[in-house]
């Protein structure tokens, strides 16, 4: 990776993105009464903040349990171990913001369980695509239920279109990897030869990498596990929608049922969009926009965002770093590995 590319990807884009995110928050809450905000933080009900923390951790456990179901026919792995790998990946991504979370968690599980990293990585991709499909269905429910706040422009139509695009994209990607996994494992097709050529340029074993990736394209033979994967994805999204419920109760705010789904959907779409353009702060911007549409007072809205975001980051960093430390990985090693992986991809 050239020095210029390193500077642009690691420093310039995140800094500019952070400036945009901060500017957006200041614009949305330009009338904020700071004294009222601080008073709300001091008088927040810590019981509900604790419930929020428990909900965040339980959501991660459900995701780990879902990953176990996907991996089961390859190798049964403890849900706790997989949850730890998820948190370790998120923790590494917070400290080394290069989008390496899936790589770190896949490497960690592969190292502990004697599997190939590329194989495990494919299972994380399948899990992500399933979550994308389920998220699109939640967006459709919010739009069809007619509970979208009325603002200038057709927000319900926008959510419907975004949900359909999400469904087509992730559903299509799921179909593609299962439909063409056997073709990708062969040596003859042009796509496979091009992949091998690109891999050779990074001194990687193209055929071996292709076979390892295809080996991870798995779906449980047991019908109960297939159902469990889909059910777990729905459960994790539903639990994510409760984060603002607990954060709101901590400051005396209670919304309608569909309002929490609306918050989850808008914040989720904002995260997807900003992640695509590699700009941080998507969750904060999306949440701030949605809470303002729902007429939540500025001070309470900002506290709700603060509690949700800070609790997520603190829990991820704390637990994730402990897991990384127990695995014999330090931050300097993560940073060095991230640079190498980013250069190879």
Mean pLDDT is highest, among 131-145, 158-172, 186-200, 224-238, for 224-238
CA distance 12 to 7: 6
Q: How many domains does the chain have?
A: 1
Whether 240 and 264 have beta carbons less than 8 Å apart is answered as: yes
Q: Quote the CA–CA distance of 40 and 259 in Å, as a whole number.
A: 22
Token pair belonging to 269: 């779409």
Query: Does the pLDDT at position 65 exceed 90?
Result: yes
Asked if 292 and 301 count as a contact pair (C-beta separation under 8 A), the reply is: yes
Q: Which of 64-68, 80-84, 116-120, 173-177: highest mean pLDDT? A: 64-68
Name the residue with higher pLDDT: 238 or 203.
Answer: 238
For the chain, the C-alpha Rg in angstroms (whole number) is 21
Instruction: Give me the mean pLDDT over the 61-71 stretch.
Output: 95
User: Whose CA is closest to 243, among 49, 47, 42, 44?
Assistant: 49
Residue reference for tokens 């176990």 = 68
pLDDT band at 251 (very low <50, low <70, confident <90, very high): very high
pLDDT score recorded for residue 345:
40
Q: According to the model, what pLDDT value does residue 208 have?
A: 81
pLDDT band per the 50, 70, 90 thresholds, residue 107 = confident
Write out the two tokens for 59.
Answer: 């959501």
Torsion angles phi and psi, residue 204, rounded to 5: -105, 160
- Cα 227 from Cα 330, distance rounded (Å): 38
Average pLDDT over residues 268-274: 78
| Averaged pLDDT for residues 267-287 | 75
Q: How confident is the model at residue 230 (pLDDT cuts 50, 70, 90)?
A: very high
Yes or no: say if 308 and 51 are a contact pair by the CB < 8 Å rule.
no
What's the pLDDT score for residue 311? Answer: 85
| String of DSSP letters for 198-244 | HHHHTT--HHHHHHHHHHT----SSHHHHHHHHHHHHHHHHHHHTHH
Is the per-residue pLDDT at 315 higher than 90? no
* Mean pLDDT across 106-118: 86
By residue count, the chain amounts to 345
Average pLDDT for 71-86: 91
In angstroms, the Cα distances linking 196 to 107, 182, 208 are 22, 16, 9
Task: Report which DSSP code applies to 12.
Answer: I
Strands (E), 40-91: none
Minimal CA–CA distance to 62: which of 281, 213, 231, 247? 231
Mean pLDDT of 286-304: 86
d(CA 76, CA 71): 7
Return the ∠ at Cα 67 (arms to 63 and 71), rounded to 5°: 175
Domain membership of residue 196 as a residue range: 3-344
- The rounded percent of the chain whose pLDDT value lies above 90 is 26
Query: How many whole angstroms separate alpha carbon 46 and alpha carbon 63?
Result: 26
For the chain, the average pLDDT equals 81
Q: What pLDDT score was predicted for residue 341? A: 44
pLDDT tens digits for range 18-38: 666 667 666 767 777 778 888
The predicted pLDDT at position 147 comes to 64
Task: Say whether pLDDT at 8 is over 90.
Answer: no
Place of tokens 């050529």: 197
Separation CA 104–CA 335 (nearest Å): 11
Specify the range with the lowest mean pLDDT, choosing from 64-73, 153-162, 288-297.
Answer: 153-162
Comparing 90 with 116, the larger pLDDT belongs to 116
Can you say how many angstroms the Cα of residue 286 is from the centroid of all Cα atoms in its chain? 15
Longest Cα pair distance anywhere in the chain, in angstroms? 68
Q: Residue 343's pLDDT is what? A: 45
| More confidently predicted of 190 and 172 | 172
Q: How confident is the model at residue 248 (pLDDT cuts 50, 70, 90)?
A: very high
Pair of tokens at residue 112:
């502990």
């Amino acid at each position: 990776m050239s020095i210029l590319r390193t500077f642009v990807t690691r420093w310039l884009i995140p800094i500019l993105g952070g400036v945009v995110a901060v500017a957006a928050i200041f614009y949305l809450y330009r009338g904020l009464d700071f004294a009222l905000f601080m008073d709300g933080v001091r008088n927040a009900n810590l019981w509900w903040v604790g419930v929020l923390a428990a909900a965040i951790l339980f959501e991660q456990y459900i995701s780990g349990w879902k990953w176990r179901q996907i991996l089961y026919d390859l190798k049964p792995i403890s849900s706790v171990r997989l949850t730890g790998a998820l948190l370790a990946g998120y923790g590494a991504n917070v400290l080394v913001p290069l989008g390496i979370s899936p790589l770190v968690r896949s490497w960690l599980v592969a190292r502990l369980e004697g599997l190939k990293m590329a194989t495990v990585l494919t299972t994380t991709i399948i899990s992500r695509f399933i979550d994308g499909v389920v998220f699109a269905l939640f967006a459709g429910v919010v739009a069809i239920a007619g509970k979208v706040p009325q603002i200038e422009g057709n927000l319900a139509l926008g959510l419907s279109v975004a949900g359909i695009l999400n469904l087509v994209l992730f559903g299509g990607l799921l179909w593609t990897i299962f439909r063409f996994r056997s073709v990708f494992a062969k040596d003859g097709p042009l796509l496979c030869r091009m992949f091998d050529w690109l891999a050779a340029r990074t001194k990687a074993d193209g055929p071996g990498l292709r076979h390892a990736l295809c080996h991870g394209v798995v779906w449980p033979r047991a019908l109960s596990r297939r159902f469990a994967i889909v059910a777990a994805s729905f459960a994790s999204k539903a639990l994510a929608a409760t984060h603002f419920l607990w954060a709101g109760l901590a400051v005396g705010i209670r919304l309608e049922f569909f309002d929490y789904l609306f918050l989850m959907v808008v914040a989720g779409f904002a995260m997807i969009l900003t992640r695509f353009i590699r700009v941080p702060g998507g969750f904060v911007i999306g949440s701030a926009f949605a809470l303002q549409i729902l007429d939540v007072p500025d001070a309470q809205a900002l506290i709700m965002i603060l509690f949700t975001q800070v609790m997520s980051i603190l829990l991820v960093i704390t637990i994730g770093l402990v897991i990384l430390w127990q695995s014999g990985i330090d931050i300097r090693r993560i940073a060095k590995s991230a640079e190498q992986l980013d250069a190879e991809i």
